[in-house]
Every structure is written in C-alpha cells, then in structure tokens.
Chains A and B, each alone.
Chain A
Amino acid sequence: SQQGEEDPQALSIQEGENATMNCSYKTSINNLQWYRQNSGRGLVHLILIRSNEREKHSGRLRVTLDTSKKSSSLLITASRAADTASYFCATDEGGNTPLVFGKGTRLSVIA
C-alpha cells in the first residue's frame, strides 16, 4: 500500500534557488524518511525524522514534519546541478512494519 504521496511530481529550478518538496501520508507513523535516487540507481538515505520531532537539519537539507496535517516537507537550499534526482518520502508505522515509499518528486536543477 502506498503511504506517502509527494508533491509536486516534477520540479524544475535554477541553480542557487531553493527547492521544496512535500509529502502527505494517511496513517499514524513512527518515522518519516527522505531518500534521493539518481537516475536508475539505488536510493540513498538522506534524513530521518521521528514522529515526535518537528524539524531536522542536515547540511543544506531541512525537513519539517506536521503530524496533525500528516505532512512533511523537504527543503534543499542553494540547489546545485548535482541535486538533480528523484526524491522519495517513506514512512513506517513502528514495530515490525515495513517502510513504504511514495512515488517521488523529480527535481531538475538547471545550471
């Protein structure tokens, strides 16, 4: 079952601009994670935010979580051409439940 839904499906920005991607989910979650995938390659884990956290930073990445709205956002500041990739959110419901991915946002950063 698809849990997270990313928005927008595709995003094109100029290098140096900020990129914001959103993720909405349906059920209560334990953790929410963001992953990056370069074309045809394996996903790379970016950041994990727990359900009792509201914001987390890692380098140029900022993730927010609003459990009342069942939504999260990923902000990439000062984007670079190398940030061009697909970005996925993934959620789990705790315990032994598996990680469920959304369909992703395709980000293009134009130099």
Chain B
Amino acid sequence: EAQVTQNPRYLITVTGKKLTVTCSQNMNHEYMSWYRQDPGLGLRQIYYSMNVEVTDKGDVPEGYKVSRKEKRNFPLILESPSPNQTSLYFCASSLAGVKGYTFGSGTRLTVV
C-alpha cells in the first residue's frame, strides 16, 4: 500500500532530550516535507526537501533539523526540545511537478 509512515504516533519527552521522528514513504516521491499543526495557526512548514541531499527551511525551522540521505526517508530531529515544540507533526510527500501531497498519520509530541 502506498503510504507515508511516521513514527512514533505519540511521544512525551522532557525538555532538552534529543529526539528523532522518522518519516518514510514507499512511493518514490521526490518531494518530502514536515509540518507542524497548532490550534489557530493551521499547518506551518518546518523543512522541505526537493530530492536526496537537498533540503530547505520552511516558515518555522528554528529548533529543528532534517536530513535526506535516501529518497524514502526524511527524519525530523529535535536536538534540544522545548515546551513550545509541543505540537502535532505531519510528514508529507509528493511527486515532483504534481504536488498532490500524501500525508502521514501524524506524531503528537508533548515536551514537558
């Protein structure tokens, strides 16, 4: 089944403890992107990637890192999480030029 898989679905962590949220797609998509969704603010883009080894900042990149070493994987790294990074995170992917995104099921992160 064509899908974007995020893990974990839920995560509670403490301030400052490094964490990684994984994202993997099996559709050979070039584009991948991370969004965070907060009440009243909608979806805001954190980072995106046009292809392997090509990443760019979105609207809210501070406090996050990404890498794109393989086409299928696009992990989101929080080196030192803070409570203001408590949010619902989504990974998405699409074919180049088509732009209909396929979304993962989301990761609900709580930083205490």
Which residues of A are in contact with B by a Cβ distance under 8 Å? 1-2, 30-31, 33, 35, 40-45, 48, 88, 90, 92, 96, 98-104
Pair A101/B43 contact, Cβ less than 8 Å:
yes
Complex interface: stretch among B11-19, B69-77, B78-86, B98-106? B98-106
Contacts A42-B104, A42-B105, A88-B42 known; 8 new A-B pairs at CB < 8 A: A33-B100, A40-B108, A41-B105, A45-B101, A48-B98, A48-B100, A99-B45, A99-B94
Residues of A within 8 A of B45 (CB): 98-100
Look across to chain A and name the residue whose beta carbon is closest to the beta carbon of B40.
A103
Number of A-B contacts (CB under 8 A): 56
Number of interface residues of B (CB under 8 A): 28
Chain A residues near B88 (CB-CB < 8 A): 40
Taking the closest CB of chain A, its distance from the CB of B23, in whole angstroms, is: 11
- Given A33-B100, A48-B99, verify A42-B42 contact (CB < 8 Å): no
Contacts A/B (CB < 8 Å), 12 sampled: A31-B99, A33-B100, A41-B105, A41-B106, A42-B105, A48-B98, A48-B99, A98-B56, A98-B58, A99-B33, A99-B99, A101-B42
